[in-house]
Structure 1
Amino acid sequence: MPAVRPSPSMPLDAVGVDGPERPPGSGERARVARPWWREPVHSWPYLPKWLLVGAVIGAVAGLGALALHESLALVTDGVLGRLAGFSPATVAGDGHAAPASGIARPWAVPALVAGGAVFGAVVVRRLAPEAGGAGTDAAIKAIHHEPLRMRGRVPVVKLVASALTLGSGGSGGTEGPAAQISAAFGSVSARTFGLGAADARVAATASLAAGVGAIFKAPFGGVVLGMELLYRRGVAPEMLVPGLIATAVAYGEFAAVRGFGPMFGHQAADPTTLAQVPFLLGLGMLVGLVARCYCWSLRNAKALFDAQSRIPWPVKPAVGGLAVGALGLLLPEILGTGYGVAQSTLDAGWLLGAPLWILLALPAAKIVGTALTVGSGGTAGTFGPTIVIGAAAGAACWRLAEMSGAPVEGPEAFVVAGMAACLGSAAHVPLTAVITAAEVTGTLDHLIPTMISVAAASVVMGERTLFPSQLPEPGRRLEGVGGQVVEVGGYRVL
């Protein structure tokens, strides 16, 4: 009978080699398996690994969101409040909703906006050039291409530059800075725990979702954002559990300091009637067109400033800031983040008392202001302004419908549906937009209106996107010039 020969995967003492099996305990001493918690974190079982990593990145992302919020409030009060005598509108989630004040020293506004943009651009250029611009698209690109290589200095640089730009009156949002700050935290944490590229991609995305969900006080919206944001079509289900853990921790931290109430307060609405459906569909289609104009304006404003190679780089944000400041003298509502303006549009008394031309001009003015701020080299988010632009468009539509005697009730449904439609279509995050709309208003009353308008806006938006670094869909292979591709984590990306 031929002898049993060992396979490469079998230990020698497990079989007889030209002879009988060795007795138990003979040969090389058997290894005793160590408990999993004594192994490196990257080799832990799935749930314990992400409970630890998710809690850590969520805690750091929550602190980053708090630092950004407080820094922005401090700079806004010190620059616009004390030097220009202007107080932007505030949201209910900050303790008290109040409309914007008048401007005591109008002559100072253009200089302050330009100065903040220049100082922010200098900080970015000298310390971390990758922290410039909007932030969210840069975070998406880094997550797809180099999730383990985001530098630890990026969060600090982004925080300082964003506070300077937005706090001095530059037009933009806080979610872009929060996204890049948090994603960089996630990348650094992944390196600290020794995670591989695939897990680092999940950690950076979960951290991004936690930061955005915390600063908007929309934790579940943040979780779904992490699943939707990387692709124009489809979702990344592997982001669900890490995102839930990280966002819960980040939101708990942020809300413990800033309060657990919804961002815009509780905004109840009357039940949606069949007669309102055509108006909501029309609003969604209109907002879809507005979102396309917004994306076009951002892209072309950046291309225009980039093409001026003979102009010294510090002059570009100065020119953009001067233009935004001058526009702000005409429409102060565009200065800063504008979230307080979205809050004001939920008030029927404010809408009926505002001149009609302001309501009609506000969406276009916010688009122009944000395009000038970001395109000229300022550091501000482009995701958050979609909320303001959509809310203003919804408010204008409600005012026109109310004037015509159409069967509409209060403005809440139109305003919330407008902000969700603009956000969901521009960023290709429809489910995030519907959920976030419910969370920032503290009610499910707007669920049906937002679903109708977001669906219509998404159809009009088509394949255009606010974030060019989004891949078409999970697993999609893209070819570059001459068919050249780069393999990254199982996906082929440009």
Structure 2
Amino acid sequence: MGRYTAKRLGARPVRKGGGSRAKPVRYRLVALSAGSHPPIHPSATAVPALLARLIAAVSKRFERGVVPGSSLTILLAGLVGLAAGFAAAFFGHFIHEITEATYGAANSRRGESFVWTLAVMACPALAMLFVAWLTRRFAPEAQGAGIPEVITAVARHDGVIRPRIAAVKIVASGITIGAGGSVGREGPIVQIGSALGSTAGQLFKLSAKNIKVLVAAGAAAGISATFNAPLAGVIFASEIILGSFAVESLTPIVLASVVADVVQQRFGEHRLDPAFKDLQYEFAGAWVQLPSYLLLGLVAGLAAAAFIKVLYATDRIAERLLPRWWIKALVLGLIVGGVGVLYPASPPVVSRSAERDAALRPPLPPVMGVGYEVVEHALHLKRTESQAVPKQNGEPAPFSLNPFETLFRTAPEREVKLAPERMLAELAWLAPLILLKPLLTSLTLAGGGSGGVFAPSLYLGATLGAAFGLVANLALPELSNSPGVYAIVGMSAVVAGTTQGVLSAILIVYEMTDQYAIILPIMAAACVSSVIARMIDQDSIYYKKLTLRGEHISRGHDLHNLDHVMVRDVMIRRFPKLAPADNALEIVRIAREHPELESLPVMSDDGKLIGIIRAEDLHRVLDSDISPRLVNAEDIALRTPLSVHPAQNLLEAMRDFGARDVETLPVEVGAGENRRLVGLLLRSDVIRRYRQEMLQRR
């Protein structure tokens, strides 16, 4: 038999005689043609229709260019964190491969022939020559540390960074560091992550505000994935890159930092371990040690300020003496390589793990590359018992005269045990590195290399702190801790001094070592170092480059110079007053007698403020056909103007100036009917005071 279906003929109610009566429902069989199907019930099409309407609505929103910025920014921040995490993992692997193919391979064969020593010397020069050409040709912003360029992009260019920067920076910095350039990899990965964030924001046509947030999110992700330090990444991006801890920007930054660290834990160099592991601090905050930590902070502040001056002075001198870029790259690169091969590669005392590694392969030059091997060595310096009580009956002494002997412990395989007679030899090996590392970093960057200054700051802090600890142990062993403790405190102190980001320095050193017990000395030394460095030079190591280029960038936290200045300190206490019946001619006369005032107050007979007359209000009257004698002050006064209290600060007053777009604000005390005018606050006076505060800071 053929296929049939029932077709409904009618069931619509028919109105008749004011009532309604439904016709009977009738059906008839209808034959279906081959390949046809019965009609689908309306409920079966509800879901597809709803989905179609949803897609149409979303498409319409995107066609109009209306993108929900905040939600999309958070989503893109997660993707940026993912991309930056993989970029950091790839970057570290790329540097390792370049090292194995260049000066690492040549260094392992130096014992065979002097030719290989020359090859090690030549590697930085050839790498800097290629990198200088690459960056000059494709992306000049990729030269140098990279972080100043990110700050400029956020402050001046709405966060826009060219997409090619990420690719060029990976290649340029990877070759510079991998071939022996004495720079770090943290600055490059910050610029790479920031470029990824900016590219994502530009691709989705986000607002400038949201693009800047994505740039900071990329920077946080880079720090997080490089150091396994998500908290430090968030603080660094907010404190250094954005210059603001605004709540609305924290969610994307935190998300990007977390996602990047998750990627790092799965594919990165450190995985679940801190950057410097196997350190154990039982207690390092005894009050008798605090003076030594504060003194170390003072020394670290001086070293940080000197590093900044050497870095940019070297660039100026190299530019003047070697104007041709390719000659400069070769000459400065050869100096870096020459110092690297001449300096002793191994310290006088090494750990057991370092001895095993040296038996398999010669150590790399300590002043070439990132130099974390030297930092690792300094952090594990452990003082052995220096004044032991003589043995009795063949038994070891039951106690030590040094009360801090057990305060610092490291893993037995990594600890570097120093007896008093070996401390001078260790000091002689460490002390020159304090001078050489900043100098070679400066030469590498001046020669056109690409790399960061964050790792050299950690290197400088570790070697300076360890040397300080050795001197302290030689001079006052009873009041000193192991040199490794001073090394980690010195790291935070120098980083705080160079970057002037105290919170970033404290958190990053804590997360790199995973040791909270040392936090008090870290905080104390970092604060002292930052103060000392700022007293010598107001600019951080990043902002100094911008200042030398003539770019003076003010960030959101600069406005806080006004939060301690009160309205009463700036307001005018003696001022003219207009009566309600004063006509326009009288107003003009008083205004000419007081040209410094942009607005004049109109007062009632009982001394209450009626309003203020602005210059534009008076001009409007004078330009009209109405006689000035017929216009009274009460007629043209701006009623209910905003007023400020003498106890408010200038930061609050700046907000009120913008709310009504006026040049003068009345200063009143009291409330309700008891309000009375006590002064006038001029916008020009507030700006002048702000300028004075900024100059005093400098």
| TM-score bracket for the superposition, by shorter chain length | 0.7 to 0.9
| Equivalence for 2:450 | 379
> What SS is found at the alignment partner of 1:210?
helix
Determine which of 288, 304, 310 is the counterpart of 1:297. Answer: 310
| Equivalence for 1:281 | 294
**1:165 partnered with 2:188:** no
CA gap of 1:238–1:42, structure 2 versus 1, over 3 A, is farther
| Equivalence for 1:79 | 102
Contact 1:266–1:443, Cα closer than 8 Å, also in 2: no
User: Residues 110-149 of structure 1, C-alpha deviation per residue, up to 9 Å, x if partnerless?
Assistant: 2111111111112212221221111111111112112453
Percent identical among aligned pairs is 29
1:62-73 superposed matches below 5 A: 62-73=85-96
CA gap of 1:38–1:333, structure 2 versus 1, over 3 A, is farther
User: Residues 250-270 of structure 1, C-alpha deviation per residue, up to 9 Å, x if partnerless?
Assistant: 111122113111000142213
**1:319 partnered with 2:331:** yes
> Within 2, Cα distance between the matches of 1:318 and 1:42?
52
Range with greater deviation from structure 2 (387-396 or 33-42): 33-42
TM-superposed CA distance for 1:409, in Å, is 2.8
> What SS is found at the alignment partner of 2:241?
coil
Contact 1:167–1:336, Cα closer than 8 Å, also in 2: yes
Determine which of 458, 479, 487 is the counterpart of 1:407. Answer: 479
| Equivalence for 2:540 | 465
> What SS is found at the alignment partner of 1:229?
helix
CA gap of 1:39–1:392, structure 2 versus 1, over 3 A, is farther
Report the residue type matching 2:135 in the other structure.
V
**1:194 partnered with 2:205:** yes
Determine which of 490, 496, 499 is the counterpart of 1:427. Answer: 499
Contact 1:142–1:150, Cα closer than 8 Å, also in 2: yes
Contact 1:224–1:240, Cα closer than 8 Å, also in 2: no
> Within 1, Cα distance between the matches of 2:379 and 2:109?
22
| Equivalence for 1:210 | 221
Range with greater deviation from structure 2 (201-210 or 407-416): 407-416
> Within 2, Cα distance between the matches of 1:156 and 1:238?
30
Report the residue type matching 1:169 in the other structure.
G
TM-superposed CA distance for 1:72, in Å, is 0.4
Range with greater deviation from structure 2 (345-354 or 145-154): 345-354
Determine which of 349, 359, 373 is the counterpart of 1:340. Answer: 373
> Within 1, Cα distance between the matches of 2:90 and 2:333?
24
TM-superposed CA distance for 1:160, in Å, is 0.7
Contact 2:85–2:221, Cα closer than 8 Å, also in 1: yes
> Within 2, Cα distance between the matches of 1:475 and 1:467?
16
> Within 1, Cα distance between the matches of 2:264 and 2:380?
27
Report the residue type matching 1:334 in the other structure.
V
1:351-370 superposed matches below 5 A: 352=418, 355-370=426-441
CA gap of 1:375–1:86, structure 2 versus 1, over 3 A, is farther
> Within 2, Cα distance between the matches of 1:207 and 1:134?
16
Determine which of 486, 492, 517 is the counterpart of 1:445. Answer: 517
TM-superposed CA distance for 1:411, in Å, is 2.9
TM-superposed CA distance for 1:412, in Å, is 3.4
> What SS is found at the alignment partner of 2:218?
helix
TM-superposed CA distance for 1:284, in Å, is 0.4
TM-superposed CA distance for 1:85, in Å, is 1.7
Contact 2:308–2:498, Cα closer than 8 Å, also in 1: yes
Range with greater deviation from structure 2 (122-131 or 159-168): 122-131
Q: Which has the higher strand share?
A: 2
Contact 1:351–1:395, Cα closer than 8 Å, also in 2: no
TM-superposed CA distance for 1:476, in Å, is 4.5
1:241-252 superposed matches below 5 A: 241-252=251-262
CA gap of 1:237–1:412, structure 2 versus 1, over 3 A, is farther
CA gap of 1:228–1:316, structure 2 versus 1, over 3 A, is same
> Within 2, Cα distance between the matches of 1:385 and 1:173?
6
Contact 1:226–1:239, Cα closer than 8 Å, also in 2: no
| Equivalence for 1:483 | none
> Within 2, Cα distance between the matches of 1:104 and 1:350?
33
CA gap of 1:424–1:114, structure 2 versus 1, over 3 A, is same
Q: How many residues are treated as equivalent by the alignment?
A: 429
> Within 2, Cα distance between the matches of 1:261 and 1:104?
39
Contact 1:224–1:431, Cα closer than 8 Å, also in 2: yes
> Within 1, Cα distance between the matches of 2:429 and 2:484?
18
> What SS is found at the alignment partner of 2:379?
coil
Detail structure 1 runs of 4+ shifted over 6 Å in the superposition.
32-38
> Within 1, Cα distance between the matches of 2:229 and 2:466?
22
Contact 1:147–1:204, Cα closer than 8 Å, also in 2: no
Structure 1 gaps, min length 5? 1-31, 88-102, 478-489
1:85-96 superposed matches below 5 A: 85=108
> Within 1, Cα distance between the matches of 2:139 and 2:485?
42
Greater C-alpha Rg: 2
Report the residue type matching 1:182 in the other structure.
G
CA gap of 1:400–1:38, structure 2 versus 1, over 3 A, is farther
User: Residues 147-166 of structure 1, C-alpha deviation per residue, up to 9 Å, x if partnerless?
Assistant: 45311111111111111111
> Within 1, Cα distance between the matches of 2:61 and 2:453?
42
Report the residue type matching 1:379 in the other structure.
S
Range with greater deviation from structure 2 (121-130 or 432-441): 121-130
**1:117 partnered with 2:128:** yes
User: Residues 347-394 of structure 1, C-alpha deviation per residue, up to 9 Å, x if partnerless?
Assistant: 225473553222111111101010100122111111221111001100
1:45-56 superposed matches below 5 A: 46=70, 48-56=71-79
> What SS is found at the alignment partner of 1:123?
helix
| Equivalence for 2:556 | 474
> What SS is found at the alignment partner of 1:106?
helix
> Within 1, Cα distance between the matches of 2:102 and 2:199?
33
TM-superposed CA distance for 1:236, in Å, is 4.9
| Equivalence for 1:10 | none
> What SS is found at the alignment partner of 1:268?
strand
Contact 1:171–1:366, Cα closer than 8 Å, also in 2: yes
TM-score, normalization by structure 1:
0.81
Report the residue type matching 1:465 in the other structure.
S
> Within 1, Cα distance between the matches of 2:66 and 2:84?
21
> Within 2, Cα distance between the matches of 1:42 and 1:419?
47
Contact 1:42–1:193, Cα closer than 8 Å, also in 2: no
> Within 2, Cα distance between the matches of 1:35 and 1:401?
71
Report the residue type matching 1:307 in the other structure.
R
What value does the CA root-mean-square deviation take over the aligned residues? 2.5
> Within 1, Cα distance between the matches of 2:275 and 2:260?
16
Determine which of 125, 142, 146 is the counterpart of 1:135. Answer: 146
> Within 2, Cα distance between the matches of 1:218 and 1:320?
34
Report the residue type matching 1:111 in the other structure.
A
TM-superposed CA distance for 1:464, in Å, is 3.1
> Within 2, Cα distance between the matches of 1:369 and 1:211?
25
| Equivalence for 1:262 | 274
CA gap of 1:281–1:351, structure 2 versus 1, over 3 A, is farther
User: Residues 64-113 of structure 1, C-alpha deviation per residue, up to 9 Å, x if partnerless?
Assistant: 111211100111111122122289xxxxxxxxxxxxxxx99433222111
> What SS is found at the alignment partner of 1:260?
coil
Contact 1:321–1:372, Cα closer than 8 Å, also in 2: yes
Report the residue type matching 1:56 in the other structure.
L
| Equivalence for 1:61 | 84
CA gap of 1:355–1:266, structure 2 versus 1, over 3 A, is closer
Taking CA–CA contacts closer than 8 Å with sequence separation of 6 or more, which of the two structures ends up with the larger relative contact order?
A: 1
> What SS is found at the alignment partner of 1:440?
helix
